[in-house]
Amino acid sequence: MPAALALAVAVLAVLPATARAADAPLTTEAERSGFVRTGRYEEVIALCDAFAARYPDAVRCETFGTTPEGRPMKLLVATRTGAFTPEAARAKGLPVTLMQGGIHAGEIDGKDAGFLALREVLDGTAARGALDRQVWLFVPVFNVDGHERFGAWNRPNQRGPEQMGWRTTAQNYNLNRDYAKADSAEMQAMLGVLNAWDPLAYIDLHVTNGAKFEHDISIQVEPFHGFDEGLRAAGRTLRDGTIAALARQGSLPLPFYPSFVRTDDPTSGFEDGVSAPRFSQSYVATRNRLGMLVETHSWRPYPHRVRATRNTVVAVLGLVARHGPQWLRATREADARAAALGGKPVPLDYKATDRVRTIDYRGYAYTRTPSDVSGALMTRYDESKPELWKVPLRDEIVPGRVVDAPKAGYLVPAAHAAMVATKLDQHGVSYRRIASPLDDAAVQAFRAESASLGAQSVEGHQRATVTGGWQAETHDVGAGALFVPIAQPKARLVVALLEPQAPDSLVGWGAFNNAFERKEYMEDYVAEEVARGMLARDPTLKARFEQRVRDDAAFARDPQARLDFFYRLHSAWDERYNLYPVLRTDTSP
């Protein structure tokens, strides 16, 4: 080794890490390659330290979790206010904006765009003064293990970069299906950040799948169509302000996700909607905060997508800087409304009406002809021929299933308290344990009229769909049960988790499947004897049975159903079968 090089190596070895980080370049592999490539995760770790060292008055580099494969999950805290902790941000009344890249690690635009925007904002060449009025949390890569499953064809329907990460985690979780159920270590770490910092706005940076067209980015925000009505004005300002800023910079932004109603058929048009809370923007909305889904278009080249994402980041920071105090007041008011939801209607989901309007859509000329490969009808686009499509759009959104929230809250019996408490703790939901038993408590119970269990696994769960309703009953509730009050700011999230027919409830994700499995039986010969005895003793019952046989052909042909008719009226019948073990109460215990 030459003497000069040896001396340089020796000097570097004894320099403090902070000094080396302060001198490190703040550009990414993406920038240096002309946005042909993206860097590996070691670059994120290095840049996190380098930004904190270069801007000690404005940036902190933190680790907020560790992945199953042992990698650190990095978070940059950027502000010119000195509020580098959640407590300091709250004390100063500052809005907090959280932006994340790489929840689907093949869709990595947010990482490279975020670092680019961060440098420009810190240098004062973009969103000037925005960090004087907010705290910006930046997670370059959420799905870190997936990011390191690097490959050239991990996103075959996407233009660039040359290689990228994988959609799911090392445990094959899709993190943007995990917000409500929170199975993964990564999501549990992120929920810890949300609980600690309580961000006003949560910005989730993605890339679409889909057809070929000219539109390059879509922006969706909730609350907008759904959730707290009083917060929807803030959602509209955030959405429309971002879209306007993007349009001024040459983008063709959309306010809905551009997925055809019928796959691969442009004539079918689009349908807007409100996602379930397994997805980021709707999950955040159940907490009365602003959630934004950003989707650049996969067929635009990587440099274009990164620039559009960077422009989105800068636009959002400017909007939060301008409107943050007003939006914070709106969220506090939304929290108060949520805490007063007891006995009031709460939508469990939303749907588009049949109202259709025709929109102009910037597409390309195309043909639809049978494929000699698959045999199916196939759409082929000619990107040399832009074309204005006239397509239908359904974007009038109304509540779907609606329930009245319990007047006081939910009771979770001791047998299920540990599992439910773990989930509530992950989400920062308030509850308390009941020290003394409640005898003959007047409650509401949900008895499933039918329960359908999924035929295949979804995210490692056998999902359940139940029909039925709440009815007044009396139950003994033992000591150690949980009382989950509806009178709390996260009441919408409580309903989303504990109402059995909510799309991302604990029931929906299969946490209570045992309740819908029949475990005890009466042998047929015993049931036959029991039935004959009941018929002989009760003429009214005999008449009911005979009428049912005459009127219900399916029942008449089903020997088991006929025996169960009597078994269900016998004291041997399991009264807990199809009983959802969580109860509702109108009075606080």
Helices 109-123 and 41-54, axial angle in degrees (round to 10): 10
Q: What is the model's pLDDT at position 25?
A: 78
Residues recorded for the chain: 589
Report how far residue 512's alpha carbon sits from residue 515's, in angstroms, rounded to the nearest whole number: 6
CATH of 55-261+269-339, one of 3.40.640.10, 3.40.630.10, 1.20.1250.20, 1.10.10.60: 3.40.630.10
Q: What is the model's pLDDT at position 9?
A: 35
DSSP 131: G
Q: What is the model's pLDDT at position 573?
A: 84
Q: Where in the chain are the domains?
A: 55-261+269-339, 356-395, 402-518+577-585, 524-567
This prediction has a pTM of 0.93
| Strand duo 72-78 + 135-139: pairing | antiparallel
Q: What is the model's pLDDT at position 210?
A: 84
Q: Is the dihedral of CA 299, 301, 306, 307 positive or negative?
A: negative
The pLDDT profile of the chain, 589 residues, written as one tens digit per residue, is 444 334 333 333 443 444 455 666 799 999 999 999 999 999 999 999 999 999 999 999 999 999 999 999 999 999 999 999 999 999 999 999 999 999 999 999 999 999 999 999 999 999 999 999 999 999 999 999 999 999 999 999 999 999 999 999 999 999 999 999 999 999 999 999 999 999 999 999 999 988 999 999 999 999 999 999 999 999 999 999 999 999 999 999 999 999 999 999 999 999 999 999 999 999 999 999 999 999 999 999 999 999 999 999 999 999 999 999 999 999 999 999 999 999 999 999 999 999 999 999 999 999 999 999 999 999 999 999 999 999 999 999 999 999 999 999 999 999 999 999 999 999 999 999 999 999 999 999 999 999 999 999 999 999 999 999 999 999 999 999 999 999 999 999 999 999 999 999 999 999 999 999 999 989 999 999 999 999 999 999 999 999 999 999 999 999 999 999 988 899 988 889 999 999 999 999 9
CA distances from 327 to 225, 230, 235 (A): 17, 11, 9
> With b meaning 16 or more CB within 10 Å and e meaning fewer, what string describes 79-118?
bbeebbebeebeeeebbbbbbbbbbbbbbbbbbbbbbbbb
Report how far residue 52's alpha carbon sits from residue 134's, in angstroms, rounded to the nearest whole number: 17
